[in-house]
């Protein structure tokens, strides 16, 4: 069964192999606020709220946070998105009640501003959980990066010295390559851990719940190995794309063929990157396998590729500008104070001076601490938004958040 309190509490995923509506282990033990005798989907009002409203149509598929956990239905306003909210800005919405907002986002289809605002609001409201995760990961990554630049760059300069013999050059290049691979591996591993834990924190923030670092780790840990496999598979796919389309031109010593392969690889890589951009939150929150998560991302993105690409691209631009504003002044200051200024840049010593490297690393730590949760938050909220639009997930979110009479005309 799903073990995540944030996303599994409404019910089990169909992929869990249990019947919809069956009580979970937490319900049986009394840990959950939902009793084992829950009303069927559609009868979600509190027992103290008065007479039970007329039953609604049962969901077409299972309930919960797994695939198609919400009801496929049209709300009272004729919305195909589910819930009680029609298409944002659509006709006939003058008497529409305000959207329920138990957490950082309203429970209805979101626009771009609401997604960005939800990511920032979570960082601000849950900084005690978000900040330690990103700060630790960014610090480890940047320490490795500083050591890499300090020692590997010097070794590469030594290997390029014409006076060095062949054996020394090969040994130096081998050592530099091993260190570089280790640094990249640690950076990828740190990013995976941060992404997994931040996904759990954002999933709780949608419901208006808080999460500690230890709780986020407990919820994310069972899926870490699969998330690592997903990341490795996607990286291998992009590398294979480059090998197939660009390397033949390089081997043939044809600049034109290599450039043509690059022009073909770039749009294809962007298309695949967007198509599978929601695989990570799908993997973490639906507790599925790597290939099921890729399939879920593909289905959720279908028909909304340009919208998701635009929001993700805008987020990358915003976070890139924020990072540049923080990193570049400290980098220039380090070069001026410790790297010998323009003379050091011309001599090539500025990039290996300890003072310049440390100041640049501090800037990068601050930037990553801010940028990393924003990027992860936008991805998670895009996943939630697509499921609200496609599967009526707002009903399950409202139920998990304890919103009474949600989805009824009187709500």
- pLDDT tens-digit readout, 178-198: 666 767 777 888 889 999 999
How far is it, in rounded angstroms, from Cα 141 to Cα 261? 33
Question: What tokens appear for 224 in the block?
Answer: 């870490």
In tens, the pLDDT along 112-134 reads 999 999 999 999 999 999 999 99
Closest CA to 192 of 258, 262, 137: 137
How far is it, in rounded angstroms, from Cα 368 to Cα 189? 15
DSSP single-letter state for residue 44: -
How far is it, in rounded angstroms, from Cα 227 to Cα 220? 10
Contacts (Cβ under 8 Å, ≥6 apart) of 402: 33, 46, 102
Contact indicator for 189, 228 with CB cutoff of 8 Å = yes
250: helix, strand or coil: helix
pLDDT reading at 57 higher than 50: no
Mean pLDDT of the chain: 76
Which of 17-31, 299-313, 389-403 is the least confident region? 17-31
How far is it, in rounded angstroms, from Cα 84 to Cα 290? 33
In tens, the pLDDT along 250-294 reads 888 888 888 898 899 999 999 999 999 999 999 999 999 999 999
pTM beyond 0.75: no
270: helix, strand or coil: helix
Higher pLDDT, residue 70 or 312: 312
If 0-12 CB within 10 Å is exposed, 13-18 middle and 19+ buried, where does residue 95 land? exposed
How far is it, in rounded angstroms, from Cα 263 to Cα 256? 11
How far is it, in rounded angstroms, from Cα 323 to Cα 317? 10
Question: What tokens appear for 354 in the block?
Answer: 């300890």
Which of 60-64, 102-106, 156-160, 355-359 is the least confident region? 60-64
Contact indicator for 103, 206 with CB cutoff of 8 Å = yes
């Amino acid at each position: 069964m799903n073990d995540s309190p944030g996303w599994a509490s409404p019910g089990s995923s169909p992929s869990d192999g249990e019947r919809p509506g069956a009580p979970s282990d937490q319900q049986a033990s009394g840990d959950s606020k939902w009793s084992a005798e829950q009303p069927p989907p559609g009868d979600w009002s509190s027992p103290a709220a008065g007479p039970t409203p007329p039953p609604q149509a049962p969901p077409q598929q299972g309930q919960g946070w797994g695939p198609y956990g919400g009801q496929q239905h049209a709300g009272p306003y004729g919305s195909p998105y589910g819930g009680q909210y029609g298409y944002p800005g659509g006709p006939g919405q003058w008497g529409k009640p305000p959207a329920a907002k138990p957490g950082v986002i309203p429970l209805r289809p979101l626009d771009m501003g609401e997604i960005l605002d939800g990511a920032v609001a979570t960082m601000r409201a849950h900084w005690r959980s978000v900040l330690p995760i990103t700060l630790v990961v960014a610090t480890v990554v940047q320490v490795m990066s500083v050591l890499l630049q300090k020692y590997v760059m010097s070794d590469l300069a030594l290997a390029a010295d014409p006076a060095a013999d062949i054996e020394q050059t090969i040994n130096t290049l081998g050592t530099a390559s091993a260190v570089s691979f280790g640094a990249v591996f640690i950076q990828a591993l740190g990013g995976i851990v941060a992404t997994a834990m931040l996904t759990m924190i954002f999933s709780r923030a949608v419901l208006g719940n808080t999460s500690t670092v230890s709780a986020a780790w407990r919820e994310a840990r069972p899926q870490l190995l699969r998330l690592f496999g997903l990341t490795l598979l996607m990286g291998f796919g992009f590398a294979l794309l480059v090998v197939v389309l660009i390397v033949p031109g390089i081997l043939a010593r044809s600049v034109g063929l290599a450039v043509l392969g690059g022009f073909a690889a770039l749009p294809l890589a962007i298309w695949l990157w967007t198509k599978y951009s929601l695989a990570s939150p799908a993997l973490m929150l639906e507790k599925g396998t790597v290939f099921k998560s890729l399939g879920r991302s593909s289905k959720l993105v279908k028909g909304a590729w340009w919208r998701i690409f635009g929001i993700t691209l805008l987020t990358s631009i915003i976070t890139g500008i924020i990072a540049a504003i923080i990193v570049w002044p400290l980098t220039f200051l380090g070069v001026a104070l410790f790297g010998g200024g323009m003379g050091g840049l011309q001599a090539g010593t500025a990039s290996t001076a300890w003072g310049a490297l440390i100041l640049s690393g501090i800037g990068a730590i601050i930037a990553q601490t801010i940028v990393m949760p924003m990027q992860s938050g936008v991805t998670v909220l895009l996943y939630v938004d697509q499921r609200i639009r496609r599967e009526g997930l707002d009903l399950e979110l409202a139920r998990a958040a304890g919103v009474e009479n949600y989805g009824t005309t009187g709500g």
